[in-house]
Homo-oligomer: A and B are copies of this chain.
Amino acid sequence: MTKRKLFIPVLLGTSRQGRESEKVAKLIYDHISKSPEIETQLFDPRVMHLPQDDEDGGIKEQNKEWKDAIIRADGLIIVTPEYNHAFPGSLKRALDLLLPEYIHKAVGLVGVSAGGWGGVRAVEHLVQVVRELGLAVTFSDLYFPKVQDAFDDQGKPKDEKVYKRIDDFMTELIWMAKALKWGRENLPSKYHKK
């Protein structure tokens, strides 16, 4: 295995006003940025160009950064709130922009909710979507129920134990990312670009 860091971008799953999940995405981004093993990047659907359900030529150009990141990625972290028992529309649009770029890479899912169930229903829907995209999803999710109570005014998490939870989540994501990276480098597949 090459020595370079694993590249694992973070995708925030909503563009909604007053979105609390932005705090969660930044928390994870900040925390894993400190890891010597990981390189990361934060993607925000507000900044991405998502006017319609798909791309035409012009939009493709505008989302080149997202495409390049997924091509280069070893894994992906998706932070999704739950709206009406499913993921937000902007998250689906962002994911639907690409296809072969995702194949044989790892993904870890993070659920966020205002209520008590942590966004598990949005995560379960995503499990089915990312599978179809060719991503291999880990089984160690990270959940933030009652997210509005989880951060202080400076955006710091009130409970320090969250760092341990993120570390456990990342341990499994890194395991899967490394196994698949070995696979991409050693096991031929029609899905891998030559």
Could you list which residues of chain A lie within 8 angstroms of chain B, going by C-beta atoms? 14-17, 19, 45-46, 50-54, 56, 83-96, 103-104, 116-118, 120-121, 124-125, 127-129, 131-134, 136-137, 139, 145, 171-172, 175-176, 178-180, 182-183, 186-187, 189
Other than the given A116-B118, A172-B189, 18 more pairs (CB < 8 A) read: A14-B53, A15-B53, A19-B53, A52-B90, A53-B83, A53-B89, A86-B125, A89-B92, A89-B94, A104-B175, A116-B145, A117-B118, A121-B128, A124-B128, A125-B128, A131-B137, A133-B139, A136-B176
Chain B nearest CB from A125 CB (Å) reads: 6
Number of copies: 4
- Contacting residues, chain B, for A189 (C-beta < 8 A): 171-172, 175
Instruction: Report how far A84 CA is from B95 CA in the complex, Å.
Output: 9
Determine if A92 and B83 form an interchain contact, defined as CB atoms under 8 angstroms apart: yes
Task: Using CB atoms, name the residue of chain B closest to A51.
Answer: B51
Task: Using CB atoms, name the residue of chain B closest to A83.
Answer: B96
Known A-B contacts A16-B54, A89-B92; A132 and B128 likewise in contact (beta carbons under 8 Å) = no
- Contacting residues, chain B, for A139 (C-beta < 8 A): 103, 131-134
Known A-B contacts A120-B120, A137-B131, A179-B183; A88 and B84 likewise in contact (beta carbons under 8 Å) = no
Chain B nearest CB from A149 CB (Å) reads: 15
Interface-central residue, A14, A86, A187, by most chain B CB under 10 Å: A86
Chain B nearest CB from A173 CB (Å) reads: 12
Instruction: Report how far A110 CA is from B39 CA in the complex, Å.
Output: 37
Chain B nearest CB from A4 CB (Å) reads: 17
- Contacting residues, chain B, for A93 (C-beta < 8 A): 88-90
Determine if B89 and A96 form an interchain contact, defined as CB atoms under 8 angstroms apart: yes
Known A-B contacts A84-B129, A129-B84; A53 and B134 likewise in contact (beta carbons under 8 Å) = no
Interface-central residue, A103, A104, A187, by most chain B CB under 10 Å: A187
